[in-house]
Amino acid sequence: MALSLAARQLVWIRNALLELQQQYQYFIHADNTGSIELCRNPRIHDRSKHIDVHYHYTREQLEAGTFEILYVPTEDNVADIMTKGLPKPAHQKLSELIRCGK
């Protein structure tokens, strides 16, 4: 669900920048290998047939080349600093990654 929301927001931003005649290559970073594989593999599995139609939008945009989805290991996912309570060492590591811009 989060990947679907990120894809919809990215497409909106991309379209706004295209109106300003700005073209870039876009990436979504995700740490959930299951959701990444579901987007990359158009075959519907028994376990995925319950997914609402609008979540297939992510797969359609990926196939259209609008963006790429890249895997980021959970321990390097800087978004976690804003969404989870982390132990001090993990918090410090992610804070450093943000400061360094990696």
Residues 37 and 48 in one domain: yes
- Looking at per-residue confidence, does 54 or 99 come out higher? 99
Query: Would you say 9 and 49 are in contact if contact means Cβ atoms under 8 Å apart?
Result: no
pTM value is: 0.76
Neighbours of 19 (CB within 10 A): 8
Judge whether residue 47 has pLDDT over 90. Answer: no
Amino acid at 83: T
- Compute the chain's Rg from CA coordinates: 16
Does residue 19 sit in the same domain as residue 67?
yes
Same domain, 95 and 67: no
Looking at residue 11, what is its pLDDT? 95
**Torsional sign, CA 20, 99, 28, 9:** negative
Q: Is 51 found in the same domain as 8?
A: yes
- Count up the domains in the chain and report the number: 2
Are 33 and 51 contained in the same domain?
Answer: yes
pLDDT at 28 over 80: yes
Domain that holds residue 81: 74-102
Same domain for 78 and 63, yes or no, is no
> Using an 8 Å Cβ cutoff, are 67 and 23 in contact?
no
Q: Are residues 18 and 45 in the same domain?
A: yes
- pLDDT at residue 61 in the model: 92
